[in-house]
Chains A and B, each alone.
Chain A
């Protein structure tokens, strides 16, 4: 497989030092890296599992709006960042691998490299404080 672009290599390096969950996606929606903080939500170790393609990823999580209504895929921040190449933010509910629902804020933004290259997107999220 071809080498990753330098922007993603450095993003991964940076993410590996972050205490906040970071997911890094390639331009086709493949989750190419997630850091240790994100492993807690996925219940998967990146070192053991490696990359997760977009179809498999869609099967892993159930998501709803904060009031429990179903969400269309194209409403998700990461989908918007990848498809529309815009930053996006949304509060939503996500079902963790152990079945527990979490209310989270999710932010995603596209990774645009030198020379106008669309290289993917990056996403972070954090659990919302109880009201």
Chain B
């Protein structure tokens, strides 16, 4: 079961005009058929998961796409991280000079945060780049994708069903046209044939023209790439904090997505792989 906990990008925004799609930043819960629990990114949406973690849970794995604040700010407020009876694993990108543990410690340490990462008792931190690894019943592939700084996308597979998660991604930057040659398109292999793709669709075309290189996509980009990759269903994600729910509706309505199933990412939305 895939549950969207936070769908907003950049910074959280709570208010009457973000109630439908949610104001919290990126976080997704993925619960496997055998009880393995994954969390994709740890934005403020992660806090919605805390009440649903049953006491008998022994392990949670948190996969971070990158370390921008909107993807990690929920970490310090997630009770299982402080529970020595829960084995917690964090997987994410190192930089060229620092391991993930060091990079995360820059946030999880004073003066930015009162608790130090190293004081968490039952935590393991894993550097990930372009890898394939197994967690419980999930086969996970990671690849570096186009976004400023080391940034991963993930593909999570269980029983042949796949979820591609690329919340911050600007494939148009590195492509000669989009859709272009799949071999030269960032993120293509992660998305190729995925049953569900959760993909960045932050900007309108006008906003993209002003923010080229900031690492994000338009709805048009996401639809073009998902269509080319033969995705089953596209969930638009990383909604701009300046966009109201109505604006997100307008952005989707303005794009011809052909036969591709497209829906806006909505906090609380549950999807079955």
A residues bordering B, Cβ < 8 Å? 1-7, 9-10, 12-13, 16, 113-115, 117
- The answer to whether A13 touches B185 (Cβ under 8 A) is no
Whether A12 pairs with B184 at a CB distance below 8 angstroms is: yes
- 17 pairs from A and B in contact (CB 8 Å cutoff): A3-B143, A3-B188, A3-B189, A5-B143, A6-B143, A6-B144, A9-B146, A9-B184, A10-B173, A12-B184, A13-B175, A114-B94, A114-B96, A114-B129, A114-B144, A115-B129, A117-B130
A9-B175, A113-B144, A115-B129 known; 5 new pairs, CB 8 Å cut-off, are A3-B184, A6-B143, A10-B146, A114-B130, A115-B127
Question: How many whole Å from B63's CB to the nearest CB in chain A?
Answer: 16
A3 near B182 (CB under 8 angstroms)?
A: yes
CA distance A117 to B94 in the complex (A): 13
Whether A4 lies near B184 (C-beta < 8 A) is: yes
Verify B129–A117 contact, CB threshold 8 A. Answer: yes
Q: A12-B174, A114-B144, A115-B129 are in contact. Are A6 and B186 (CB under 8 A)?
A: yes
Task: For B174, list chain A residues within 8 Å (CB).
Answer: 6, 9-10, 12-13
Q: Is B179 an interface residue (CB 8 A)?
A: no
The answer to the question of B117 belonging to the interface, with a C-beta cut-off of 8 Å to chain A, is: no
Contact count A vs B, C-beta below 8 Å = 56
Given the complex, which residues of A lie within 8 Å of B150, measured CB to CB? 114
Report chain B residues within 8 Å CB of A12: 174, 184
Q: Closest 8 interchain pairs by CB? A: A115-B129, A9-B174, A3-B189, A13-B174, A114-B129, A6-B144, A3-B188, A10-B174
Give complex CA distance A16, B144 in Å. 21
Q: Which residues of chain B are within 8 angstroms of A7 by Cβ–Cβ distance? A: 144
In the bound complex, residues from chain B placing their C-beta under 8 Å from that of A5 are 130, 143-144
Whether A115 contacts B146 by the Cβ 8 Å rule is: no
Q: A13-B174, A117-B130 are in contact. Are A2 and B183 (CB under 8 A)?
A: yes
Given contacts A114-B96, A115-B94, contact A9 B185 (CB under 8 A): yes
Q: Which residues of A are found within 8 Å of B188, using beta-carbon distances? A: 3
A3 B185 Cβ-Cβ under 8 A:
yes
The CA of A4 and the CA of B144, in the complex, are separated in Å by: 11
A113–B60 CA distance with the chains assembled, in angstroms: 29
- Indicate if the CB atoms of B127 and A4 lie closer than 8 Å: no
Q: Is B93 engaged at the interface, CB distance under 8 Å to the other chain? A: yes
Name the A residues within 8 Å of B146 (CB-CB). Answer: 6, 9-10
